Amino acid sequence: IPVSAPSHYEAVSAGDFAAAEAQAKSYWHAKLSQGTTYDIPEARVSNAWKAWLAYSLLNIHRINGFDEPHDGSGFYQLMYGISAALYCSELDRYGLHDQAKLCLDTAIHYQNSDGLYTINSGLPDQGAFLSALAEHYWLTGDKAWLRSVAQPMVKAGDWIIHQRAISPKTGVAAGLIKFKPYCDFPGPTCNYYGDTYCCMGLERAAKALRVLGMNDDAARFETDAAEYREAILKSMDAATFVHDGVK
């Protein structure tokens, strides 16, 4: 655990250290026994996924009342939109639905009024955000929660649809969104990585909205997602080149 200054160190007795160590062990044993359990005979594999989970939970920082999943502690000390959204889905797969919900609340908090969700990254954030919202429902069956996030979901999907409406109509990038792809390439461009995430996000959101009977919104998402998928595949075909006889 990073310590910012030597003044934060304090000498403790052997007894106090042992008590604190026992308390920490008890906390983590209890924490890692929650959610989904796996009976894995290979100890190294079993310990590895528990270690990853423990380290990742240490990277959740509560800031201004919101749980922010950061990429690291002491390094990469930021929240990245796509990483945070994917992490929410991983928490759900681990059965830690309450923590996933808290992190999804954070993502919704940072969503712009126009529906855009991007934090220190780029276009993939938007699609991963939509997917994480939909997947939380599919893995929990919490219909009341799904209804509570329906409007942020619709706004996020409409942002994608609007961006496609103003996208190029001809050329190799026809139908693709021109936006910054990720943090290390901040200039707007078309990228299959981001477009694929956004297309998948629309598809998954449409399915979730059908559950709520929001059929008009679902139909819009389904129609645009089908056209979006076709545009991506056409662009990939058009962008294919041959080098030394190999495509």
Express each pLDDT in 125-156 by its tens digit. Answer: 999 999 999 999 999 999 999 999 999 999 99
* Residue pLDDT, tens place only, 220-239: 999 999 999 999 999 999 99
From the list 54, 140, 50, the residue with the least C-alpha distance to 104 is: 140
Asked if 101 contacts 144 with a C-beta cutoff of 8 angstroms, the reply is no
For 83-131, write each residue's pLDDT tens digit: 999 999 999 999 999 999 999 999 999 999 999 999 999 999 999 999 9
Specify the 3-state DSSP secondary structure of 63: strand
Helix crossing, 150-165 with 123-140: angle to 10°? Answer: 150
pTM as predicted: 0.90
Helix (H) or strand (E) holding 62: strand 60-63
Per the CB < 8 A criterion, the answer to whether 79 and 119 are in contact is yes
